[in-house]
Amino acid sequence: MIKKNLCGLTSDELYDLIKPLGFTAANAVSILNNIYKKRISEISQFTKIPFRLINELLNIAESGMFLPVESEISKDGSIKYLFRTESGKEFETVYIPENKRNTVCVSTQSGCRMGCKFCVTARVGFHGNLTAGEIVNQVLAVPQAGKVTHVVFMGMGEPMDNIENVLKACSIFTAEWGLAISARNITVSTVGLMPGVEEFLSKSQCNLTISLYSPFSEERHKAIPVENHYPVMKIMEMVRNFPVKKKRRISIAYVMIKDLNDTDRHLNELKAMLSGSSVRVNLLAYHSTASDQKCSSSPERMHYFKHNLIISGISASVRKSRGADISAACGLLAAGHKLNTPAVPFLSE
Ligand code: SF4
């Protein structure tokens, strides 16, 4: 008999599992309290659970929790963890401490199949979706789990390509019976798989970030192949027309590359695209890899963009880069894979 993993279950799913054994919905919540709040990975160690229920659970379930197999510490305090599932899927998670804010950046897939040209994860290939339990476990299994205040879905994989498990993980992160993290502190990032974005907006209250790279479609599609199917203009139109709840934040991630997407022409188009919307722009430094001739825009140029966006009425900030020295920054996660495919040229090259 295949045992059920408890980590990744909702309270309703767990109640369905234990109800035929004569247990209650309150018992289900108590079990999840052991998993999601106390982070106890041994069923026999669960507290405040009837003895008979513990014995039944040992027969039909496993905690589904597992520890990272490797870690690497950045000089800025970020820590990258490598996870490996029993079936051999590998993926990375980054813990990012900053003042009172402690963020875990989770992966949603092992590798990725979106093929973005600037991204190291794309060169790893695609090795499968992560289950909701494997996503949630990344937050439970880091040694700093008790301090986590924010979760960002910006690790390996395109979240909207695994939308069912991402939505389920979001509901476990936010539920009272789950980790009880505010939806305002959870952000899911996408390159713009439109059907997934639409489903995400209608079924979740968490924040959304869209990776842009260029406001010009003909440039963007050279870097982000999905632009061919779902042009960012259409996504922006959908986002603009979506009845956004007051507290949800929608933002654009704009990685700035010297002379490629940091010209005044790009700035003006960005302003035109976002004018009158409440979408925020996060300006990020580009991280080049060994085989890469491109480099990040200067801090001065990034602040020039920020200033010009702000005086045009568009909310903007320059985001601090974290963990670049351990390949933990945006677009650098490779889960320890040896990369034998070279970086692919993009944009105006
Ligand atoms: S940027 Fe995101 S969607 Fe694109 S290849 Fe990398 S992980 Fe996948």
Domain with CATH 1.10.150.530 in the chain: 4-62
Instruction: Name every residue whose Cβ is closer than 8 Å to that of residue 209 and which is 6 or more positions away in sequence.
Output: 154, 187, 188, 189, 190, 250, 251, 252, 253, 282
Q: Give the Cα separation of 313 and 269 in Å (integer).
A: 14
Name the closest-CA residue to atom 7, ligand 1: 157
> Please, where in the chain does CATH 3.20.20.70 lie?
70-326
What's the pLDDT at 344? 42
Ligand 1 center to 181 CA (angstroms): 25
Q: Give 162 or 237, the one with higher predicted confidence.
A: 162
Q: What are the tens digits of pLDDT across the range 153-168? A: 999 999 999 999 999 9
pLDDT at 74: 92
Question: Quick one: pLDDT band at residue 248, thresholds 50, 70, 90?
Answer: confident
Q: Where are the alpha helices (DSSP H) in the chain?
A: 11-18, 25-32, 51-60, 120-124, 132-141, 163-174, 194-203, 217-223, 232-241, 264-274, 299-311
Max alpha carbon distance in the chain (Å)? 69
Residue 107 has pLDDT above 80, yes or no: yes
CA of 108 to the centre of ligand 1 (A): 11
Taking residue 66's Cβ as centre, other Cβ atoms within 10 Å add up to 19
pTM: 0.93
Q: Is 112 in the pocket of ligand 1 (CB under 6 A)?
A: yes
To test the ligand 1 pocket, which listed residue (91, 106, 113, 119) has its Cβ within 8 A of the most ligand atoms?
A: 119
The verdict on whether 92 is a catalytic residue reads: yes
Q: What local confidence, expressed as pLDDT, does residue 342 receive?
A: 43
Task: Classify domain 4-62 at the CATH class level.
Answer: mainly alpha
Predicted pLDDT of residue 159? 98
Is residue 119 in contact with ligand 1, taking CB distance under 6 Å?
Answer: yes
Give the position of tokens 């999840």: 32
Which tens digit of pLDDT belongs to each residue from 256-280? 999 999 999 999 999 999 998 889 9
Residue nearest to atom 6 of ligand 1 (CA): 119
Single-letter amino acid code for the residue at 80: K
Q: List the one residue out of 41, 130, 126 whose CA is nearest residue 84.
A: 130
CB of residue 121 inside a 6 A radius of ligand 1: yes
3-state helix, strand, coil in the chain (%, to 5): 40, 20, 45
Active-site choice (116, 119, 206, 330): 330
The pLDDT of 200-204, averaged and rounded, is 94
End-to-end distance of the chain based on CA atoms, in angstroms?
A: 55
Nearest to 247 by CA among 216, 211, 204: 204
At residue 151, the 3 state secondary structure works out as strand
**225-244 b/e (C-beta count within 10 Å ≥ 16 → b):** bbbeebbbeebbeebeeeeb
Q: Which ligand 1 atom is at minimum distance from the Cα of 161?
A: 3
Residue 242 scores a pLDDT above 90: no
Tokens of 36: 């999601």
Sheet containing 90-98: order of strands: 70-73, 79-84, 90-98, 101-105, 150-153, 186-190, 207-211, 250-256, 280-285, 316-318
| H or E, element range at 205 | none
φ and ψ at residue 256, rounded to 5 degrees:
-100, 120
Length of the chain: 349
pLDDT attached to residue 188: 97
Check if 122 has its Cβ closer than 6 Å to any atom of ligand 1: yes
Cβ 111 vs Cβ 88: under 8 Å:
no
Question: pLDDT category, 343, cuts 50, 70, 90?
Answer: very low
Q: Which residues contact 113 (CB under 8 A, 6 or more apart)?
A: 125, 126, 158, 161
Residue whose token pair is 């970020």: 78
Distance 190 CA to ligand 1 centre (A): 8
Nearest residue by C-alpha to atom 3 in ligand 1: 158
Q: Can you tell me the distance from the alpha carbon of 135 to that of 127, in angstroms, rounded to the nearest whole number?
A: 15
Return the pLDDT at 246.
Answer: 62
Model confidence at 68, pLDDT cuts 50, 70, 90, reads: very high
More confident residue, 267 or 341: 267
Q: How is domain 70-326 classified at the architecture level of CATH?
A: Alpha-Beta Barrel (3.20)
Instruction: Find, among 153, 136, 154, the residue nearest to 145 by Cα.
Output: 136
Ligand 1 centroid to residue 322 C-alpha, Å: 18
What's the CA-to-centroid distance between 118 and ligand 1, angstroms? 8
Assess whether 330 carries a catalytic annotation.
yes
Judge whether 168 and 136 are in contact, CB under 8 Å: no
Q: Outline where DSSP puts E strands in 85-154.
A: 90-98, 101-105, 109-111, 126-129, 150-153
Q: Which of 114, 112, 155 is nearest to 135 (CA)?
A: 155
